[in-house]
Structure 1
Amino acid sequence: MKKEVNTSLTQNIFRILLALFMVYAGFSHLTFNRIDFQAQVPDWVPLSKDLVVVLSGIVEIALGLTLLLWKKQRVNFGWALALFFILVFPGNLAQYLDGKDAFGALNSDSTRLIRLFFQPVLIAWALWSSGAWQSWRNTKK
């Protein structure tokens, strides 16, 4: 779909860090943070909160591993990860609006609000470090 692009050493380092973070986060969904992640699942989601946490953990691990290991599709997985960050944002927003504590650190409205501003950073990180943004810009030339 997207043409492979060359990424800088800095982009590759940040891509690897993001990929490892995603694998760790996915693993934590399935194990020691499982209950805390359930606080992010909005009540309007028509599935069990535990099922949503498990499925999102599996997706995070898969996206992390593919971003780390599958060079020829890196741009596509950068877009997929950015989309994933967009899709989970309503959960972060619901956690803020409902005032649900989680992870020890998200125990006030101000910390939950500050966290919302990191979602665009994660989206940009995925697009930049994978070369997805650069690939898209190259198609516009």
Structure 2
Amino acid sequence: MTDAAKGSLARFLEARVPTSRKRLGVRNAMGGLFVGAGISHLTFAREEFSALVPAFVPVESDTVVVASGVVEICLGAALMLLAKRRVPIGWAAALFLVGVFPGNISQWTHAREAFGMDTDSKRFARLLFQPLLVVAALWSTAAWRDRPRAGRL
């Protein structure tokens, strides 16, 4: 990418910072949820999160829980504090949520109790909620709307 194209892209993204209170509110709420979930990964809910790590993951479950907790804290803080970098942060948050989805599927298919999910219907309902979080991450950061596209520069 040429310097002129990079400059055009930067100006375009800065001009499109979502300022609506709804987007900001959802982005801050998601950021708070991410930070809170990340802290719980590292402290009081560590064992419950370990139960969600699918068996096919080739890393010790506690390592996965700690690493994902650190990532969640970073993503949450970034969602709340880095509005000018919102597009890549929105994509990163959405990809993170997609990446942890197999853990939710594993909890449902193996009937693992964690976080009050003690019935198959509760675990299945959680599966339906995850795509809404992905959409919220993309909408609140306007990551889909403002994604770089060929020919737009």
Is 2:109 the partner of 1:97? yes
Query: Aligned partners of 2:71, 2:98: CA distance in 1, in Å?
Result: 14
Question: Which residue in 2 is equivalent to 1:78?
Answer: 90
Query: Aligned partners of 1:33, 1:42: CA distance in 2, in Å?
Result: 17
Q: 1:1-141 counterparts in 2 under 5 A?
A: 3-4=13-14, 5-7=16-18, 8-103=20-115, 105-136=116-147, 139=149
Contact 2:23 2:141 in 1 (8 A): yes
Deviant stretches of 4+, over 6 Å: none
Contact 2:17 2:83 in 1 (8 A): no
Unaligned runs of 5+ in 2: 1-5
Query: Aligned partners of 1:14, 1:131: CA distance in 2, in Å?
Result: 11
Question: SS of 1:81's equivalent?
Answer: helix
Query: Aligned partners of 2:70, 2:139: CA distance in 1, in Å?
Result: 23
Aligned letter for 2:27? R
Larger radius of gyration: 2
Identity of aligned residues (%): 45
Query: Aligned partners of 2:121, 2:87: CA distance in 1, in Å?
Result: 35
Instruction: Say which structure, 1 or 2, has more relative contact order (CA 8 Å, 6+ apart).
Output: 1
Query: Aligned partners of 1:6, 1:63: CA distance in 2, in Å?
Result: 18
* TM-score, normalised with respect to structure 1: 0.93
Deviation per CA, 1:8-38: give whole Å up to 9, x if none. 1110011000001100000000001100001
RMSD of the TM alignment (CA)?
Answer: 1.6
Aligned letter for 1:44? F
Query: Aligned partners of 1:52, 1:22: CA distance in 2, in Å?
Result: 16
Contact 2:17 2:84 in 1 (8 A): no
Deviation per CA, 1:55-79: give whole Å up to 9, x if none. 0000000000111111221111000
Cα deviation, residue 6, structure 1:
2.8
Query: Aligned partners of 1:58, 1:115: CA distance in 2, in Å?
Result: 22
Count of matched residue pairs: 139
* TM-score, normalised with respect to structure 2: 0.86
Unaligned runs of 5+ in 1: none
Query: Aligned partners of 1:41, 1:89: CA distance in 2, in Å?
Result: 10
